[in-house]
Amino acid sequence: MQYAESAQSVKDLVIAAGRTAARPVSWREGSRPGKGQSGFKRMYARFVALRIRPAGRGIRKTSDGPEPPERWLLAE
């Protein structure tokens, strides 16, 4: 099976998505003092979520269709 496009690195995919694709996500209060409910700052980072078709022989063998399955790529 041949891919329609050549393989790209994860870094290139995330850069191509652009800054506007990144969304801030907070997940818990950290250990640094702040104005949070418990007196600590919330931890957060910016993440990009992209739908991709991963390359690799193992992925292609497990696919039932003509194209490799889509997967989510989460990158900080």
Predicted confidence (pLDDT) per residue in 47-66, tens digit: 999 998 877 666 555 556 66
Residues in the chain: 76
Is the pTM higher than 0.85? The answer reads no
Q: How far apart are CA 63 and CA 24, in angstroms?
A: 33
Higher-confidence residue of 44 and 4: namely 44
* Residue 26 φ then ψ, to 5°: -110, 145
Q: Encoding tokens for residue 50?
A: 């992209």
Burial of 28 from C-beta contacts in 10 A (0-12 / 13-18 / 19+):
exposed
CB 43 within 8 A of CB 30: yes
